[in-house]
Amino acid sequence: MNSQAVTRLVVAFTLSYATAGVGGALTELGPWYFALKHPDWKPPDAAFGVVWTTIFTLCAISAWLAWQAADTPALRRRVAVLFGLNALLNILWSGLYFKLQRPDWALIEVVFLWLSIVALMWGLWRLSRWASALLIVYAVWVAVAAMLNLQTVALNGPF
């Protein structure tokens, strides 16, 4: 791997983990969160960190593979816009759910987050099938999180 590829990989990990860091900073598991009724099938809180770390690692690798395959400025711009939009929507969900304590608003937003993952997978497919496939775990997890979000709203609403 040449130095330019290594630099791009470092940038991909930095941006991915920065997104995770901002979202994590907005995630406050305080008294409000612990007072919520949760579905019986909710994974333990400790599992979320492991899952999200795995997802952000896969996203970084996906972004790097896609960027390496993008051989024109227009394709690189597409990769950047798709990942940038997804990062903003990921952070927004955490802000709505935890910071603003509005799981109901987060439930609406999670639809757009999931659609942004589908758009990423579709937008990267022709560039790199591996880059696209690495996002399957992310799409599945956000679908599970959406169901968890829906049931939390049902058990606790209105907000």
pLDDT tens, residue by residue, 40-66: 999 999 999 999 999 999 999 999 999
Per the structure, the count of domains in the chain is: 1
Q: CA 120 → CA 43, 108, 155, distances in Å?
A: 26, 19, 32
Residues 13/63, Cβ–Cβ less than 8 Å: no
Domain enclosing residue 39, as ranges: 3-156
pLDDT in tens, 19-29: 999 999 999 99
How far is CA 142 from its chain centroid? 7
Closest CA to 22 of 87, 82, 91: 91
Predicted pLDDT at 53: 98
Which secondary-structure segment (H or E) carries 84?
helix 73-94
- How much of the chain exceeds pLDDT 90, in percent? 97
- pTM, 2 dp: 0.96
- Whether 1 shows a pLDDT value over 90: the answer reads no
Question: Per residue in 92-137, pLDDT tens?
Answer: 999 999 999 999 999 999 999 999 999 999 999 999 999 999 999 9
Domain with 44 in it: what CATH number? Answer: 1.20.1260.100
Q: What is the number of H-type helices and E-type strands within the chain? A: 7, 0
